[in-house]
Amino acid sequence: MSGEVGQPDQTVQVLDASGLSCPLPLLKAKQALNRLNSGERLRVIATDAGSVRDFKAFTDQSGDKLLESLEQDGSFIYLIQKA
């Protein structure tokens, strides 16, 4: 089965930016989002605590939606929907 729980037909691209320092997680996420169509989703995994501020500011300015932002086992996980 693919997709998110409750949304079996929605595919999510995953970008693992673990170990990268700011601003690289955000830059790689921007590149990945540029390849997506409107409405598609990108899950980003980062280990840099500064990425929390960066992703919030980026989505506020870009119009993309930050659907999820959480910390889990030392990783910061973001789910972004392309505008």
Catalytic option among 12, 20, 22, 77: 22
**Sheet bearing 65-72, strands edge to edge:** 12-17, 41-46, 75-81, 65-72
Sign of the dihedral defined by the CA atoms of residues 29, 20, 17, 50, in that order: negative
Do 72 and 43 meet the contact criterion of CB atoms below 8 Å apart?
no
Q: Which CATH number covers residue 77?
A: 3.30.110.40
* 22 included as an active-site residue: yes
Q: How many domains does the chain have?
A: 1
User: Would residue 52 count as lying in a domain?
Assistant: yes
- Asked, for residue 12, whether it belongs to a domain, the answer is no
Tell me the residue range of the domain where 60 lies.
Answer: 24-81
- Mark out the alpha helices in the chain (DSSP H runs): 24-34, 51-62
Q: What is the pLDDT along the chain (83 residues), one digit of tens a residue?
A: 344 444 445 789 999 999 999 999 999 999 999 999 999 999 999 999 999 999 999 999 999 999 999 999 999 999 999 99
- Let me know if residue 32 belongs to a domain: yes
**Is the Cα dihedral 47, 57, 34, 38 positive or negative?**
positive
